[in-house]
Amino acid sequence: MDNNREHISRVLISAEDIREKIQETGAMISEMYAGKPLLIVCVLTGSFIFTADLCRALSIPCEIDFMSVKSYSGDRSTGKVGIVLDLKKDISSYHVIIVEDIVDTGLTMKCVSSMLRERNPLSLSVVTLLDKPECRKTDFTPDVSLFRIPNVFVVGYGMDCDEQFRELPYVAEYRP
């Protein structure tokens, strides 16, 4: 796989639009969670840039933890995911926000949110940068989605194609 920019067919969401929307979302989260113990859960790897920008848009204190998940046996259709890297914290004394890069079929977030809900956080919500509602295969709906996009494969702003293009500052449509 090469990192050739010829694979970038168009910029779908500019760095400026992402920045603006994150500021709005950060302000909304800060208002909702003021005075509450807040834990931001970054789901690696795709949401690392979004998480870094979102937590810096908060005007309230928060803690941050990381997890990484993988679909069982490479079969995404089962909707079962395994934890590759688990959280370090006991989340039972926190309001938890799971930060995701993109909700596509919804299988990953449905499974991750139900796994974390079993650990009895004070509350749990999912904030996703992108939502592809046309691709949904479950009844999962993120609590907050910054941008709805059509059914196209995207890269950039943390998201990859075979580990390439994560470093782009914008979200772009990938052309094979």
Residues between 19 and 78 with contacts to ligand IMP, criterion CB under 6 A: 46
Answer yes or no: 86 catalytic.
Answer: no
Helix axes 48-56, 15-33, angle to 10 degrees: 60
Question: Does residue 156 interact with ligand IMP by CB under 6 A?
Answer: no
Number of residues that bind ligand IMP (CB under 6 A): 14
**Would you state the structure tokens that stand for residue 26, as one six-digit string?**
């950060």
Question: Does residue 153 interact with ligand IMP by CB under 6 A?
Answer: yes
Question: How far are the Cα atoms of 37, 47, 49, 57 from residue 60, in angstroms, in the given order?
Answer: 10, 20, 19, 9
> Between residues 33 and 174, which has the closer beta carbon with respect to ligand IMP?
174
Name which of 2, 55, 5 is nearest 168 in CA terms.
5
Which of 2, 86, 101, 104 is catalytic? The answer is: 104
Question: Does residue 170 interact with ligand IMP by CB under 6 A?
Answer: no
Separation CA 15–CA 171 (nearest Å): 8
CB atoms within 10 A of CB 125: 16
> Between residues 30 and 71, which has the closer beta carbon with respect to ligand IMP?
71
Q: According to CB under 6 A, which one of 12, 67, 104, 156 is a site residue for ligand IMP?
A: 104
Rounded least distance, CB 152 to ligand IMP, Å = 7
Name which of 57, 49, 32, 165 is nearest 100 in CA terms.
49
Rounded least distance, CB 17 to ligand IMP, Å = 17
Question: Does residue 107 interact with ligand IMP by CB under 6 A?
Answer: yes
CA 22 to chain centre: 13
Q: Hey, which residues are catalytic here?
A: 104
Residue ranges in contact with ligand IMP by CB under 6 A: 46, 100-109, 153-154, 159
